[in-house]
Amino acid sequence: MEKAYKLLAQQEGISNKKAKELIDKGLVYVADKKVKIARADLNENTRFRVEDIPDVRIIYQDENIIAVDKPALSDSYDIQDAIPGAILLHRLDRDTSGVLLLSTNEEFAEKAIEEFKHRRVKKEYVAWVEGVLYEETEIDEPILTIKKGKAFSKIDTVRGKKAHTKVKPIEIQGKKSKVSVEITTGRTHQIRVHLAHIGHPIVGDEMYGSRTQNKRILLHAAHIEILDYVFDSKEPKEILKYK
């Protein structure tokens, strides 16, 4: 038996540090099962499969703003670091794909960040959720985020911060539903927590109650409007159709 990250490093010809990073990012599989613990003891004959992350595509760029099409399983801060002088205007969870905004203009960045703070940004997402959702619904439940190690959020009516989410059904496929989601606040894991709260966790979101294993959480940032800019991201194939 040997640690998973050490076996992966040997197989891929990479450093132990790089191997651990790949596992921590959720990119490493044995057959169709994700390797979740880098220090897990595995048989020395274990063969791994490493998922490729598509390249980041620039949707639009001018002297004020850079809109990129973020692939799932990529980190928002890694994208920021890859663009000289870039400042993230907001962030998307690693598993979430779609429109991500940055700027290399400090004055514009400050103005844009204020727009996010004062809820003057329109944000629309698409997700596949567990169960059958027939009707539009609005969720007004305060969210508390605990940031010890990996961030985790929950509904907390006493200590939580105001959070508002609108959910509209688009399509039903078996026991899964495709929904559009609009948020007027931007709490950590807001969509994930609110959908789980109404009994419809996002497919693949095991942290918040999904029982379906998937390569990623099926959440996509499809549309954003800020300071007269409007950007859209096409749905990747796993969002366009569940199966």
The catalytic residues are: 93
Q: Single out the residue of 184, 188, 214 nearest to residue 202, CA to CA.
A: 214
Residue 160, both tokens: 């939580």
Residues 6+ apart with CB under 8 A from 42: 1, 2, 3, 4, 7, 30
Q: Single out the residue of 187, 179, 156 nearest to residue 235, CA to CA.
A: 179
Half-sphere exposure at residue 93, Cβ-oriented, CA atoms within 13 angstroms? 22
